[in-house]
Structure 1
Amino acid sequence: MILRMKNLFVQFTRLSAVMFFGLVASSLYATEWMPKAPSLAARNYILIDFHSSKVLAEKAADEKVDPASITKLMTAYIVYEAIESGLIDTDDQVKVSRKAGRLGGSKMFIEVGSLVSVHDLLSGVVVQSGNDASVALAEHVAGNEEIFADLMNKKAQELGLRESYFVNSTGLSDDSHYMSARDIAILSQALIRDYPQHYSMYSEHDYTYNDIRQPNRNVLLWRNMNVDGLKTGYTEKAGFCVVVSSQEDDMRLIAVVMGSGRQKRFDEASELLRYGYRFYKTSKLFGKQKALTEVRVWGGDKKQLGLGVPADIYVTLPRSKNAGVKTELMVYEDIIAPIEKGQELGSIAISYNGKTIEQSALISLYRIAEGNLWARISDSVIHLFQ
């Protein structure tokens, strides 16, 4: 196969024209200026768009810090993975060990030797931030907390968390236990994306176990910011921390605030969310497995092949007037059968005001088998004279 790349710069094709003209004309460009991102007193913070992963504001977002109970997001992620893989079940009855039942800090108030379901323990972790529930789940999944921490670190590598290391499931302070604000945002994004069936628990306002009712510590769930998760944290070393997610229309944001005050963290997270929704808009440009263009296939049992992207493509752009969005398709010049479904056959680059903001592979949307002898010979002759 000749792998010369043929520039198929798509300015306004039948598909692209609708999208690009629609973007330029829509409320995506409603204002004429772009203010600076908020400057907060918190030690570390970051604001990202859930769909596009675009960073809208940040400060010291890669610094390694004590994550406190925000650690429990990774604890929950590992438990969700164990549930979905069939390793454990939400109805499993977990016997509470001496270590779990007597652990200090925030508690679910489970008793040593009692049996508690995985579902109840998850509520104890997510809503009540129970250290005892976290350790009980860690022991149920991995046998002991040390092995569970190894699972947490392996998952951190898989998710691309570059400034994270875990030594426990609770977030109790340890010099070797840390995360960055950026890693917390990435983990939160992965949790919402990979386990949406479990995410509703993060919006529960309270949970009662053993006749003890405890409210969710995320007070933004009661404010009118469309917040539906995720987690708060506090240790003397970490200060007061919070990671929240909210959704307005089709746009979801994730804000992380570390090293702030008890109430100040919520005010600062709210300020980040207001900034993101007021001055940015996220749009879905292309859907996965949708044909963006068709190309000629030589020597196959079909002559035309649809190409698309393997995953939805979103862009987050300012709500300000600009030169708009352009897309460039780069497709292999000679495409010869057989072609497998999902085979990479080019790339797509999306630019905004002359700067590339998103890139993706172009893949075949279906398989094309090699044609019969006559099809191959006739195509060879036609191709020779083109």
Structure 2
Amino acid sequence: MNSRLPAESAPEPTSVFLSLRTVQANRSLILSAVLAIAAGGFVPSTASFAAPQHASKAAQKKAATPPSVTPSAEPGGPPVLAAKAWLVMDYDSGQVLASENADEPLPPASLTKMMTSFLVEQSIRTGKLKQDDLVSVSENAWCRGSGTESCMYLPLNSQAKVIDILRGIIVQSGNDASKAIAEHIAGTEDNFATLMNAEAKRLGMTQTHFVNATGLPDPAHKASARDLAVLARAIIRDSADFYPIYAEREFTFNKIKQGNRNALLYTDPTVDGLKTGHTQEAGYCLVTSSKRNGMRLITVILNANSMQARADQTRALLSWGFSRFEKATPIQPDAQVALAKVSFGKADTVPAVLGAPWTITVPKGQKLETAAQLNADLEAPVAKGAVIGKVVATSGGKPVAEAPLVAQADVERAGFLLRAWQHLLRLFGK
């Protein structure tokens, strides 16, 4: 069987014949060249031919393509990525550690399906859907298997369980699965898009507008890197029962096994989600989450130029984030942060404490200082757990993070005589 080089690697015919004419006197060399051409493996060599060689168009294009990742010019800075927009976020705090064009609305391609799957997951959680409910496949939802779109390959007019549909959306990125569940939940895909936009607004996704459940191109269908990180954070936080599906490497339905397109699931055991996307307009996109040593990071890549590029860029962001940052606990949960003054109460003060454990992500080795800011004119009654101020963490005089302070105990309102006495004291400035 003749072996053939890939089309992008094959020599251009004009360069071959030009080279052959320069060596007409060397019959043995011509014979070797002809045999090589017949075998599909001939590549002109500058060592053998005097005529200049011409690189193939593919080679020229490859040479002109900039690297997908380059080191930062600033010591300790994030890598420079050849993507239109990108972001790395700390999951626990929602703090953005580094980004580029994070708020630019861009085509999200199949990253859209994170919202589709999230709505399905929340519908199951609230009881609106059951995992075993059957979803019908309409002609509109049916994927004809043209090879131009990703499909779960649900048969026309068939039915599938909601949990299988969910896996088809997440693992196989099925357009048919997304359309079918959209119609099942909202009647039409347009109605489902309305639900998607309402949920996006609730989550604070300010630069996002959905037109469909799949991410197929539409001029009005946009999302920003920051918004997609917010959505990923919501999925991890609010869909804990279903989040392991985002780490599944393959799913078989209708006797067709398909693999997850997230390459990092196969190479990095700390990566457990979330979603890939690609259209010609959107380029290659990837939202990823990784947890190492108790710290979880979320990354977003939009409009990379290849599958390899989006994977390499994600690896670079994760490597930078985990090596550069660490978790810090400025104040222990049971520590009294300050004493808040209370007017007209049976007690004059109430201890102010953290309402919940407080950890923040900071550059390694960074020193933190904290200061309490309490509500002025706090009056009884004060309920235990009521927010009465906040504590702000700073580094080098710059705010880094803040957390609410709450009352550690109830403070009952004083009786009439005690309140009158306190009024008099206040009147005379005592």
Aligning the two structures, in what range does the TM-score lie when normalised by the shorter sequence? 0.7 to 0.9
Deviation at 1:314, TM superposition (A): 3.1
Distance across 2 between alignment mates of 1:153 and 1:264: 30
Distance across 1 between alignment mates of 2:317 and 2:153: 35
Higher mean C-alpha displacement, 310-319 vs 174-183:
310-319
Say if 1:94 and 1:116, in contact at 8 Å, map to a contact too: yes
**Superposition map of 1:252-331 within 5 A:** 252-260=296-304, 261-286=306-331, 292-295=337-340, 297-300=342-345, 305-310=350-355, 312-320=357-365, 322=366, 324-331=367-374
Deviation at 1:224, TM superposition (A): 2.7
Higher mean C-alpha displacement, 375-384 vs 169-178:
375-384
Deviation at 1:213, TM superposition (A): 1.0
Pick closer, same or farther for the CA change 1:356–1:225 going to 2, 3 Å. same
Say if 2:87 and 2:99, in contact at 8 Å, map to a contact too: yes
1:100 and 2:167 matched: no
Deviation at 1:218, TM superposition (A): 0.7
Distance across 1 between alignment mates of 2:407 and 2:339: 10
The aligned counterpart of 1:5 is: none
1:168 and 2:212 matched: yes
SS at structure 2 position matched to 1:109: coil
Say if 1:289 and 1:365, in contact at 8 Å, map to a contact too: no
Pick closer, same or farther for the CA change 1:80–1:365 going to 2, 3 Å. farther
SS at structure 2 position matched to 1:229: strand
The aligned counterpart of 2:398 is: 355
Distance across 1 between alignment mates of 2:143 and 2:263: 28
The aligned counterpart of 1:205 is: 249
SS at structure 1 position matched to 2:307: coil
**Amino acid across the alignment from 1:262:** M
**Superposition map of 1:109-188 within 5 A:** 109-188=153-232
Deviation at 1:374, TM superposition (A): 6.7
The aligned counterpart of 1:40 is: 81
**Superposition map of 1:214-233 within 5 A:** 214-224=258-268, 226-233=270-277
Say if 1:103 and 1:131, in contact at 8 Å, map to a contact too: no
SS at structure 2 position matched to 1:101: coil
Distance across 1 between alignment mates of 2:215 and 2:404: 39
Higher mean C-alpha displacement, 295-304 vs 185-194:
295-304
* Greater fraction of residues in strand: 1
Say if 2:135 and 2:160, in contact at 8 Å, map to a contact too: yes
Deviation at 1:189, TM superposition (A): 1.2
Distance across 2 between alignment mates of 1:206 and 1:221: 10
1:85 and 2:130 matched: no
The aligned counterpart of 2:233 is: 189
SS at structure 2 position matched to 1:91: coil
Report the TM-score, using the length of structure 2 for normalisation.
Answer: 0.75
Deviation at 1:344, TM superposition (A): 3.2
The aligned counterpart of 1:368 is: 411
Distance across 1 between alignment mates of 2:332 and 2:203: 23
Pick closer, same or farther for the CA change 1:159–1:310 going to 2, 3 Å. farther
Say if 1:66 and 1:177, in contact at 8 Å, map to a contact too: yes
Distance across 2 between alignment mates of 1:39 and 1:128: 31
Quick one: which of 107, 114, 123 aligns to 1:73?
114
Report the TM-score, using the length of structure 1 for normalisation.
Answer: 0.83
Distance across 2 between alignment mates of 1:141 and 1:366: 46
Larger CA Rg, structure 1 vs 2? 2
Say if 1:253 and 1:273, in contact at 8 Å, map to a contact too: yes
Deviation at 1:115, TM superposition (A): 1.9
Distance across 2 between alignment mates of 1:357 and 1:182: 19
Distance across 1 between alignment mates of 2:371 and 2:179: 51
Distance across 2 between alignment mates of 1:67 and 1:209: 26
Deviation at 1:129, TM superposition (A): 0.6
Higher mean C-alpha displacement, 284-293 vs 108-117:
284-293
Give ranges in structure 1 of 5+ residues lacking alignment. Answer: 1-32
C-alpha offsets along residues 187-218 of structure 1, whole Å, 9 cap, x if unaligned? 11121122222211101111111111111111
Higher relative contact order structure (alpha carbons within 8 Å, sequence separation ≥ 6): 1
Deviation at 1:355, TM superposition (A): 0.3
Distance across 2 between alignment mates of 1:139 and 1:222: 33
Deviation at 1:138, TM superposition (A): 1.0
SS at structure 2 position matched to 1:156: helix
Distance across 2 between alignment mates of 1:35 and 1:338: 50
Residue identity (%): 37
Say if 2:330 and 2:368, in contact at 8 Å, map to a contact too: no
**Amino acid across the alignment from 1:108:** M
Pick closer, same or farther for the CA change 1:332–1:240 going to 2, 3 Å. closer
Distance across 2 between alignment mates of 1:120 and 1:287: 44
Pick closer, same or farther for the CA change 1:166–1:312 going to 2, 3 Å. farther
**Amino acid across the alignment from 1:336:** E
Higher mean C-alpha displacement, 144-153 vs 182-191:
182-191
Pick closer, same or farther for the CA change 1:34–1:326 going to 2, 3 Å. farther
1:336 and 2:336 matched: no
C-alpha offsets along residues 262-292 of structure 1, whole Å, 9 cap, x if unaligned? 2111011001100001111122445779754
SS at structure 1 position matched to 2:141: helix
Alignment coverage as a number of residue pairs: 352
Pick closer, same or farther for the CA change 1:39–1:197 going to 2, 3 Å. same
C-alpha offsets along residues 35-54 of structure 1, whole Å, 9 cap, x if unaligned? 22100112221111111222
SS at structure 2 position matched to 1:308: strand
